[in-house]
């Protein structure tokens, strides 16, 4: 031993068990901090690519920019790329509907347009077609072919196909292909729906400031400026209210993570150093000065930090790695440029900083305490713990069994330990509940495919008969088919059911002599089959969805939400049992409202008064025999192109085929990218919290080894010992859980009400989450106490009592 500080290493070695617990605790906290921050860092990188893929890689869009404005903006030093996009509305190509547009070639990459074959159109008479359209609509149009294009103003011109570009999911799902013209080709066209000049700034440019500059210099009005808020949000530059709300939530929650990291480490240190006050006293006896003791404790902290930080960092990086791996495995085309081992320097530095800082801080207080121990007390073996100076009266054992009373007593007597233990548990729960806010956000702001989402839809204005249905059912690759009959009908009912806002928008609504009002708009009548009723169950607000009863009693299901001009409203407030009268060729038919649905998963193209869902039988009874307007098809295997080929051959002759698969998978992809990280955050917090509870409980039991030995010598039985220690642990858990649940719920409420109201998210008491937490915490508590206790009980009493 060259220096007294070597004692640290001897001590840590001699008490390998305690050392290991302390190291684990610090490593866990470092892993938590590193993991969470690395995940955010990596998440933003992934999300940026995802947003670029979904919404395009531009920051600013200037409406109707003149060529002069465009050229000034393009030549700014902070602009990386810019290009013009013109939407020329719906046209017809060789007689079929198409969407006409023109995009500058330099900006095609930014908007995810990729030329698969041939060239980007450059000449006046060149166009480029979307791949699926080229295949399907023109029986394999190739570059060099001639096509006729009719514009909205009914002029028609001939064009040469110069190239084929990639499929766009949204266009494919709508069944209207995109046709891209050259910039020069649009010159003569005045009927332009939209003329946008897209701008991509260089990285690290303060975009809002740059946009303000551009607006100022070129005197561009606010309504001509559009920002890609999704992209700005992801790169942290959005000033949009919703984005700022999310930033605030992120800041609050990640501060919480930092605090949790600090408290977890402090807690373990408090337990492990405090119990050794006696050892430090002994050192004082042999002549150690106070300063030396402090240095010793700090050195010990350092030694532990040095051992704990590398594995902590590694574990944290592993968490981010798992998330990247999942996403890269799922879709390597979008995320190809992100390396699998993406390292977040910020996350690692923060982990190291928190590790060292907290260990340093955490050892300050115990070091002071240790230095303050009087050598006399240390030798006499008393005064291992400072407790209140007041005289203690009364004993809980009058109310409950002794071992339980003692367990609670020892928890409550050590106020600081109680506080730290409870804090550590509470913080975990607060974090868990806090991060759950992101799950709510994700589910409401992003849609994902549902069981009722079709892969392919067949749509026909004139209706499809049973024979098509039969043919479809006969196909091998088809999993499920379900059709809908649709009609716009005049429906009337008690006028008092109409909402005031709706009535006002029509001025006055006339009422006939029979008491029914004259409907100002038609209503949408929809037929469902068994499957569709089953899928609608989660949206049922009132009543029931029984096809049999509806058939028997002429039932109808009202739909509460009505999408009007892209705004969800409620036009009618039905009650169960209301009568609805529908005009039919044979007179008025009376139907009874038997249920109310929140919404239907598709929207009418026309404005309607409201929508009603009925069974196919009631539909036919009311409207006579009509075919299906829509037949939705789900495939056994989404990539089964052979079956899709057969379906395509059935299309034509007034039947339109909509391929929704690409759009579905893009929607799912968008959701998945966020879900992986959001659930990742919650999972990391849950795992670290559980390990933290196990570790601190373990530490607290191990630190009481001698005390428990004395209890056994006096005659406490194993069972009593178990329940005493469990009671103490449970006291920490119960107080921590209660505090955590209350504060966590409040935090959720505050975050949601203040920052997420723009997403229509409502706060509900997180009963289910709290139930999970309670089950988890109590199970973990029991398990984390039982095993060290068992080890202690297996040791001989003399071994424990004399070991000091």
Partner 1 sequence: MEILRAENLSKTYGKGETRVEALKNASFSIEKGEFISIVGPSGSGKSTLLNLIGALDNPTSGKVFLNGRYIFDIKEEELAVFRRRNIGFVFQAYNLIPELNVEENIVLPLLLDYKKPDKEYIDELLNTLGLTERRHHLPNQLSGGQQQRVAIGRALAAKPAVILADEPTGNLDSRNSRDVIDLMKLSVDKYRQTLLMITHNENYAAYGDRVFRVEDGIVAELGGGVR
Nearer to partner 1, 167 or 403 (CB): 403
Reduced to 3 states (helix: H, G, I; strand: E, B; else coil), residue 221 is: coil
* Nearest residue to 372 (alpha-carbon basis) of 311, 492, 290, 251: 290
Provide the minimum distance between the beta carbon of 289 and partner 1 in the complex, in angstroms, as a whole number.
25
Provide the minimum distance between the beta carbon of 722 and partner 1 in the complex, in angstroms, as a whole number.
11
**CA–CA dist 220, 474 (Å, integer):** 60
Within 695-734, which residues bind partner 1 (CB under 8 A)? Answer: 707, 710-720
Out of 135, 152, 384, 529, name the contact with partner 1 by CB under 8 A. Answer: 384
**CA–CA dist 43, 24 (Å, integer):** 27
Within 90-149, which residues bind partner 1 (CB under 8 A)? Answer: none
Nearer to partner 1, 450 or 719 (CB): 719
Nearer to partner 1, 66 or 380 (CB): 380
Nearer to partner 1, 618 or 701 (CB): 701
Question: What does each C-alpha distance from 244 to 210, 238, 670, 758 come to in angstroms?
Answer: 19, 7, 21, 11
Nearer to partner 1, 84 or 278 (CB): 278
Check residue 796 for interaction with partner 1 (CB under 8 A). yes
* Nearest residue to 680 (alpha-carbon basis) of 450, 351, 442: 442
Nearer to partner 1, 212 or 713 (CB): 713
Residues in the chain, how many?
A: 804
Tokens of 443: 């589910």
Binding mask 406-425 for partner 1 (x = CB under 8 A): x--xx--xx-----------
Provide the minimum distance between the beta carbon of 800 and partner 1 in the complex, in angstroms, as a whole number.
10
| Long-range CB contact pairs, 694-697, < 8 A, 24+ | 694/780, 694/783, 694/784, 695/21, 695/24, 695/25, 695/28, 695/268, 695/784, 696/25, 696/264, 696/267, 696/268, 696/271, 696/421, 696/424, 697/729, 697/732, 697/781, 697/784, 697/785, 697/788
Nearer to partner 1, 413 or 576 (CB): 413
Binding mask 439-478 for partner 1 (x = CB under 8 A): ----------------------------------------
Nearer to partner 1, 548 or 804 (CB): 804
The dihedral region occupied by 383, where left means phi > 0, alpha psi between -120 and 50, and beta the remainder, is left
Question: What does each C-alpha distance from 206 to 45, 51, 94, 213 come to in angstroms?
Answer: 18, 19, 47, 11
Out of 124, 497, 617, 793, name the contact with partner 1 by CB under 8 A. Answer: 793
Nearer to partner 1, 413 or 607 (CB): 413
**CA–CA dist 335, 522 (Å, integer):** 47
Provide the minimum distance between the beta carbon of 719 and partner 1 in the complex, in angstroms, as a whole number.
7
Provide the minimum distance between the beta carbon of 400 and partner 1 in the complex, in angstroms, as a whole number.
11
Q: Are the CB atoms for 595 and 540 separated by under 8 Å?
A: yes
Please report, to the nearest 10 degrees, the dihedral formed by the alpha carbons of residues 158, 163, 169, 173 taken in order.
Answer: 30
* Nearest residue to 100 (alpha-carbon basis) of 109, 108, 92: 92
Provide the minimum distance between the beta carbon of 287 and partner 1 in the complex, in angstroms, as a whole number.
21
Provide the minimum distance between the beta carbon of 272 and partner 1 in the complex, in angstroms, as a whole number.
18
Provide the minimum distance between the beta carbon of 262 and partner 1 in the complex, in angstroms, as a whole number.
28
Instruction: Please list the residues that pair with 612 across neighbouring strands.
Output: 525, 558
Binding mask 342-371 for partner 1 (x = CB under 8 A): ------------------------------
Question: What does each C-alpha distance from 617 to 440, 581, 599, 613 come to in angstroms?
Answer: 39, 17, 22, 12
Judged by CB under 8 A, which stretch of 28-36, 419-427, 438-446, 791-799 contacts partner 1?
791-799
Provide the minimum distance between the beta carbon of 419 and partner 1 in the complex, in angstroms, as a whole number.
16
Provide the minimum distance between the beta carbon of 713 and partner 1 in the complex, in angstroms, as a whole number.
5
Instruction: Please list the residues that pair with 164 across neighbouring strands.
Output: 117, 129
DSSP letter string, 528-584: E-HHHHHHHGGGEEEE---HHHHHHHTEEEEE-EEEETTEEEE-B---TT-EEEEEE
Judged by CB under 8 A, which stretch of 386-394, 431-439, 495-503, 778-786 contacts partner 1?
386-394
Provide the minimum distance between the beta carbon of 700 and partner 1 in the complex, in angstroms, as a whole number.
14
Within 387-406, which residues bind partner 1 (CB under 8 A)? Answer: 387, 389, 391-393, 395, 397, 401-403, 406
Nearer to partner 1, 710 or 746 (CB): 710
Within 589-648, which residues bind partner 1 (CB under 8 A)? Answer: none
Nearer to partner 1, 410 or 608 (CB): 410
Q: Are the CB atoms for 399 and 322 separated by under 8 Å?
A: no
Provide the minimum distance between the beta carbon of 736 and partner 1 in the complex, in angstroms, as a whole number.
20
Nearer to partner 1, 384 or 529 (CB): 384
Provide the minimum distance between the beta carbon of 438 and partner 1 in the complex, in angstroms, as a whole number.
43
Reduced to 3 states (helix: H, G, I; strand: E, B; else coil), residue 323 is: helix
Provide the minimum distance between the beta carbon of 415 and partner 1 in the complex, in angstroms, as a whole number.
12
Nearer to partner 1, 383 or 449 (CB): 383
Q: Are the CB atoms for 801 and 716 separated by under 8 Å?
A: no
Provide the minimum distance between the beta carbon of 714 and partner 1 in the complex, in angstroms, as a whole number.
6
Nearer to partner 1, 413 or 746 (CB): 413
Q: Which residues contact 618 (CB under 8 A, 6 or more apart)?
A: 527, 550, 551, 554, 555, 556, 591
Provide the minimum distance between the beta carbon of 417 and partner 1 in the complex, in angstroms, as a whole number.
12
* Nearest residue to 372 (alpha-carbon basis) of 381, 361, 380, 383: 383
Opening angle at CA 750, ends 749 and 755, nearest 5 = 110
Catalogue the E-assigned strands of 370-495.
Answer: 456-464, 478-484, 486-489, 491-492
Q: Are the CB atoms for 533 and 547 separated by under 8 Å?
A: yes
Number of residues that bind partner 1 (CB under 8 A): 41
Reduced to 3 states (helix: H, G, I; strand: E, B; else coil), residue 440 is: helix
Name the residue with tokens 């266009």.
171
Nearer to partner 1, 170 or 793 (CB): 793
Question: What does each C-alpha distance from 786 to 692, 701, 710 come to in angstroms?
Answer: 16, 9, 19
Within 748-767, which residues bind partner 1 (CB under 8 A)? Answer: none
Out of 346, 385, 576, 771, name the contact with partner 1 by CB under 8 A. Answer: 385
Nearer to partner 1, 270 or 523 (CB): 270
Interface ranges with partner 1 (CB under 8 A): 380-387, 389, 391-393, 395, 397, 401-403, 406, 409-410, 413-414, 707, 710-720, 793, 796-798, 801-802, 804
């Amino acid at each position: 031993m060259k220096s007294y500080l070597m004692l640290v290493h001897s001590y840590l070695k001699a008490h390998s068990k305690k050392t290991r617990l302390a190291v684990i605790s610090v490593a866990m906290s470092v892993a938590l901090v590193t993991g969470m921050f690395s995940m955010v860092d990596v998440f933003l990188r992934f999300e940026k690519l995802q947003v670029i893929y979904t919404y395009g890689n531009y920051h600013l869009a200037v409406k109707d920019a003149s060529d002069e404005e465009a050229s000034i903006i393009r030549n700014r030093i902070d602009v990386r790329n810019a290009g013009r996009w013109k939407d020329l509305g719906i046209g017809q190509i060789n007689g079929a509907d198409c969407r006409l547009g023109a995009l500058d070639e330099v900006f095609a990459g930014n908007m995810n347009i990729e030329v698969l074959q041939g060239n980007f159109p450059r000449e006046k008479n060149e166009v480029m077609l979307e791949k699926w359209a080229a295949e399907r609509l023109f029986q394999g149009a190739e570059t060099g072919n001639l096509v006729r294009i009719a514009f909205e103003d009914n002029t028609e011109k001939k064009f040469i196909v110069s190239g084929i570009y990639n499929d766009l999911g949204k266009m494919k799902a709508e069944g209207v292909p995109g046709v891209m013209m050259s910039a020069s080709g649009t010159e003569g066209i005045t009927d332009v729906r939209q003329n946008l000049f897209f701008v991509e700034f260089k990285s690290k440019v303060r975009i809002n400031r740059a946009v303000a500059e551009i607006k100022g210099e070129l005197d561009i009005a606010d309504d001509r400026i559009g920002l890609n808020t999704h992209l700005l949000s992801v790169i942290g530059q959005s000033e949009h209210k919703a984005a700022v709300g999310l930033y605030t939530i992120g800041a609050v929650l990640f501060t919480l993570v930092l605090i949790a990291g600090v408290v977890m480490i402090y807690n373990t240190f408090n337990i492990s150093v405090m119990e050794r006050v006696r050892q430090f006293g002994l050192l004082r006896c042999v002549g150690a000065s106070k300063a030396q003791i402090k240095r010793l404790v700090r050195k010990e902290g350092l030694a532990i930090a040095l051992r704990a930080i590398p594995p902590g960092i590694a574990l944290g990086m592993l968490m981010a790695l798992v998330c990247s791996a999942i996403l890269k495995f799922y879709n390597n085309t979008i995320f190809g440029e992100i390396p699998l081992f993406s390292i977040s320097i910020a996350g690692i530095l923060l982990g190291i900083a928190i590790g060292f800082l907290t260990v340093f801080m955490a050892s300050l207080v115990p070091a002071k305490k240790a230095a303050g121990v009087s050598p006399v007390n240390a030798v006499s073996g008393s005064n291992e713990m400072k407790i209140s100076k007041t005289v203690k009266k009364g004993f809980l054992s009058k109310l409950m069994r002794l071992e339980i009373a003692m367990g609670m007593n020892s928890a409550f007597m050590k106020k600081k330990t109680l506080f730290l233990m409870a804090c550590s548990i509470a913080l975990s729960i607060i974090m868990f509940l806090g991060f759950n806010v992101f799950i709510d956000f994700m589910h409401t702001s992003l849609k994902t495919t549902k069981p009722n989402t079709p892969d392919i839809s067949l749509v026909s204005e004139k209706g499809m008969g049973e024979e098509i249905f039969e043919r479809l059912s006969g196909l091998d690759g088809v999993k499920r088919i379900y059709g809908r009959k649709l009609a716009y009908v005049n429906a009337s009912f008690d006028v008092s059911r109409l909402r005031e806002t709706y009535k006002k928008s029509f001025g006055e609504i006339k009422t006939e002599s029979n008491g029914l009002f004259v409907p100002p708009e038609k209503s949408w009548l929809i037929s469902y089959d068994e499957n569709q009723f089953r899928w609608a169950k989660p949206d049922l607000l009132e009543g029931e969805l029984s096809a049999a009863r509806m058939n028997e009693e002429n039932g109808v299901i009202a739909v509460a939400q009505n999408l009007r001009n892209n705004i969800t409203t409620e036009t009618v407030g039905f009650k169960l049992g209301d009568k609805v009268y529908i005009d039919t060729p044979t007179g008025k038919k009376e139907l009874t409202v038997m249920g109310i649905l929140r919404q239907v998963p598709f929207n009418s193209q026309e404005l309607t008064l409201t929508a009603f869902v009925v069974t196919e039988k009631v539909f036919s009874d009311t409207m006579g025999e009509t075919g299906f307007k829509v037949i939705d098809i789900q495939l056994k295997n989404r990539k089964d192109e052979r079956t899709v080929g057969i379906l395509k051959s059935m299309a034509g002759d007034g039947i339109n085929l909509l391929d929704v698969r690409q759009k579905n998978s893009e929607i799912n992809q968008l959701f998945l990218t966020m879900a992986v990280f959001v659930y990742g955050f919650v999972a990391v917090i849950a795992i670290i919290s559980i390990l933290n509870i196990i570790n601190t409980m373990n530490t607290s039991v191990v630190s009481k080894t001698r005390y428990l030995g004395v209890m056994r010598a006096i005659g406490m039985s194993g069972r009593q010992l178990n329940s005493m220690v469990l009671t103490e642990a449970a006291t920490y858990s119960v107080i921590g859980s209660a505090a955590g649940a209350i504060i966590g719920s409040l935090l959720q409420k505050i975050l949601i009400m203040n920052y997420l109201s723009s997403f229509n998210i409502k706060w509900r008491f997180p009963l289910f989450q709290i139930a999970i937490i309670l089950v988890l915490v109590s199970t973990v508590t029991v398990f984390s106490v039982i095993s060290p206790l068992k080890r202690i009980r297996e040791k001989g009493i003399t071994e424990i009592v004399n070991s000091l």
